[in-house]
Amino acid sequence: MLPTSVTGERLADPSGADTIERRPATHGALDGEPPITVVPLHGDGFFGRPGLEGHRRGGRVWAPRFSYDSHESTASSLTTVAVDAIAQLRLTTTISIDHVMHVSATVTNIGSTRYLLDRLDLTVPLPATADELLTFSGRWSREFQQARMPWIVGAWSAENRRGKTSHDQPSLLFAGRSGFGEWTGEVRGFHLAWSGNHRLWAEHLADGRRFVQLGELLHPGEVCLEAGESYSTPELVATFSPAGLTEASWGFHRSLRARSTSPVGPRKVLINTWEAVYFDHDLDRLQALADVAAATGVERFVLDDGWFGSRRDDTKGLGDWWVSSEAHPLGLEPLISHVRGLGMDFGIWVEPEMVNPDSDLYRAHPDWMLATPGYEHVIGRHQVVLNLAVPEAFEYILGRLDALLTDHEIAFVKWDQNRDQAQASGADGAAGAHAQALAVYRLFDAVRARHPGVEIESCASGGGRIDHEILRRTERVWTSDCNDPLERQSIQRGASMLIPPEVMGAHIGPPQAHTTGRTNSLDLRALTALPGHLGIEWNVLETSEQERLQLARYIEIYKQFRTLLHSGDTVRFDPIGHGHAYGVYAADRREALIWWVQLATDDSLLPPPIVLPGLDAGSNYRITRLAPFGDNPRTGGKSVPTWWRDGSTMLGGHLATIGLQPPVTSPESAVLVHLRTV
């Protein structure tokens, strides 16, 4: 494997890498400055945050120092083994390269007494030019919100203790040269592929060096290594681009696509019943909903919460995974047969990791809960967490899911996880978040092994569990419970920096958004949902004939272009004023889709041109408006650009320098443009 520089490029002459002069010693420092390694150590004289912390009984061997033992390498990977004979620990680190860099580490107790591990994090050194951070935060229904800050001396950190990837602290971080944009500036991105607790750390040392550090956040005493036992970190995924955020995000997307084992073909348009019927599972109404959905071109019908046990509201029945004779007296078969007869396949909602205290499962097995003995349960959403690390609990849930999928023709599972962990202890009373996360992965894997053709969506009250590790087991994520298109613009823009569009669930909601109460046009709602895995979350029984025709046209556009959408390179353009643009380029750059969204009124009467870098400079592109349809009243001004009415042709080089002039549009409106080489 060719070595790379600290800026990410491959070294032109790797044979001379060992001749590069080390940093000189300075006053006020140790004689030998320890390098920033994958796991930097305080015992070596590293005064930043160490990558490994732990101890044996009595606080002994708390600052280990490892020595080289062995290594193995291939054209694309390097594994090293180091040993500390005094601390009696072995440290194995692996770095591999595909479209991005993958880093992991394992610590093994080679002694005869217990080793209490506090932390094993993965570290990447960065150059001094990486002086600005792009971080992400959020909350329920407002995920992946961006914030930029100068990276001054000291440390920035974010910690997540919710037991899942979380809405508020997604495991994603970018660092780059100050002022980096979507198409300019050196940028490095870092992601921890892990669906549990985590910690992100970015430190600028007093000696001028910088590094980022990502790892699992372990509760006190959560990992105790007995003799011969090991702990392995989640995988750190790192990407680099010399030319901005858009190109950096391609590394994340391409790596995820390359590692996917999904059997999925074209991503089917689905309708989810939640915002249409909630817990009212009247068969006639559900069948009528399916009739209208099929007529507009929907390909999958997903039955949400309320079909099982005593689950007529959100206070009871969770955990009792059998078809309710009250909600569905004839079982699910009449609905499934009706849906399949319309040419759609059938999907269903489950939340197998949670239990209502008012349920048969809880009454039979209160000892199966992920809670601390002797304390009252911390209740959230009328739920407690099922401890899947208990073998009997795991086998029970696996059996119920297996029976559900065996007994019914189900093609898709919306797998939800709605509440956070608090005081979550295992059966032995020790912290159980780590074991729970691994058990959840085993459950996904076991369901996949028994039903390899069933597609699975990761949902966690929307975007609470979005990471590359869960996406190695699922076909898509539910990006947010918020279908308000204005909120979705920022949510999806942030999410697109980590995940490609085919795994990003995006639905056309009702005119008035369920989460915000804001009302928006069907054009904006549909155009916002198109650049993802399209669905509908709307009671289409209440739509007019005109709305159904318009909905059908947007579904047809999605079907026409979903191969491009779900195989091309996602592109974003730096916002100007109160509008922004984004899209997708075909891998061969012969075709593209571009969205222009006017969020609010601008200071200028005319919006600036949309500059489109990255196309083939010497090719002519035919420009065609796909939506909105006709002379839409959302478009203002006395005139519109030529391409708006009649189409136009421009050189790729001109699109990258002069740009494409958008029309004057009203606030909260969007335009979709198709480009194809002539």
At residue 468, the pLDDT reads 97
Which CATH superfamily, name and number, covers 570-677?
Answer: Golgi alpha-mannosidase II (2.60.40.1180)
At residue 5, the pLDDT reads 46
Q: What is the distance between the alpha carbons of residues 585 and 75, in angstroms, rounded to a whole number?
A: 30
CA distances from 546 to 296, 542, 543, 628 (A): 11, 12, 8, 14
pLDDT digits (tens, 9 = 90+) for 574-609: 988 888 999 999 999 999 999 999 999 988 888 889
Helix (H) or strand (E) holding 583: strand 579-585
At residue 3, the pLDDT reads 42
228 Rama sector, left if φ>0, alpha if ψ -120 to 50, beta otherwise: left
pLDDT digits (tens, 9 = 90+) for 201-242: 999 999 999 999 999 999 999 999 999 999 999 999 999 999
Q: What is the distance between the alpha carbons of residues 272 and 537, in angstroms, rounded to a whole number?
A: 5
**pLDDT surpasses 80 at 12:** no
Q: How many CB atoms lie within 10 A of CB 131?
A: 17
Cβ 70 vs Cβ 13: under 8 Å: no
Between 280 and 605, the more confident residue is 280
Decide: helix, strand or coil at residue 228: coil
Cβ 385 vs Cβ 421: under 8 Å: yes
**pLDDT surpasses 80 at 99:** yes
List the structure tokens of 652.
Answer: 């790729």
**pLDDT surpasses 60 at 8:** no
Pairing state between β 620-627 and 77-84: unpaired
Between 9 and 359, the more confident residue is 359
pLDDT digits (tens, 9 = 90+) for 404-455: 999 999 999 999 999 999 999 998 999 999 999 999 999 999 999 999 999 9
Q: Which residue among the candidates 345, 416, 467, 569 is catalytic per the annotation?
A: 416
Q: What is the distance between the alpha carbons of residues 678 and 676, in angstroms, rounded to a whole number?
A: 6
At residue 28, the pLDDT reads 75
- Write the class of the CATH domain 98-259: mainly beta
Q: Which residue among the candidates 481, 484, 523, 569 is catalytic per the annotation?
A: 481
pLDDT cut 90: percent of the chain above it = 88
**Tell me, what DSSP letter sits at residue 445?**
H
pLDDT band of residue 2 (cuts 50, 70, 90) is very low
pLDDT band of residue 18 (cuts 50, 70, 90) is low
pLDDT digits (tens, 9 = 90+) for 287-314: 999 999 999 999 999 999 999 999 999 9
**pLDDT surpasses 90 at 49:** yes
pLDDT band of residue 20 (cuts 50, 70, 90) is low
**pLDDT surpasses 70 at 144:** yes
Residues in the chain: 678
pLDDT digits (tens, 9 = 90+) for 634-668: 655 567 888 998 899 999 999 999 999 998 889 99
Helix (H) or strand (E) holding 54: strand 52-56
Does residue 320 carry a catalytic annotation?
no
**Mean pLDDT calculated for residue range 27-52:** 91
Close Cβ partners of 329 (under 8 Å, ≥ 6 residues apart):
none
At residue 488, the pLDDT reads 98
CA distances from 437 to 53, 444, 467, 646 (A): 22, 11, 13, 55
Q: What is the distance between the alpha carbons of residues 215 and 229, in angstroms, rounded to a whole number?
A: 19
**Mean pLDDT calculated for residue range 504-529:** 97
What's the topology of domain 270-567? TIM Barrel (3.20.20)
pLDDT digits (tens, 9 = 90+) for 386-406: 999 999 999 999 999 999 999
**Mean pLDDT calculated for residue range 107-125:** 98
Q: How many CB atoms lie within 10 A of CB 585?
A: 23
Alpha helices in 408-472 (DSSP H): 433-450
List the structure tokens of 511.
Answer: 């005119």
Pairing state between β 223-225 and 187-193: unpaired
Spell out the domain ranges in the chain.
98-259, 270-567, 570-677
Q: What angle do CA 334, 339, 344 make, to 5 degrees?
A: 155
pLDDT digits (tens, 9 = 90+) for 232-279: 999 999 999 999 999 999 999 999 999 877 767 899 999 999 999 999
Does residue 291 carry a catalytic annotation?
no
At residue 16, the pLDDT reads 58
At residue 577, the pLDDT reads 83
Name the pTM for this structure: 0.95
* Residue/partner pairs of 379-382 with CB below 8 Å, 24 or more apart: 380/419, 380/420, 380/422, 381/314, 381/418, 381/419, 382/314, 382/315, 382/316, 382/318, 382/356, 382/357, 382/358
Q: What is the distance between the alpha carbons of residues 269 and 300, in angstroms, rounded to a whole number?
A: 6
Please state which of the ranges 158-162, 390-394, 518-522, 663-667 shows the lowest mean pLDDT.
Answer: 663-667
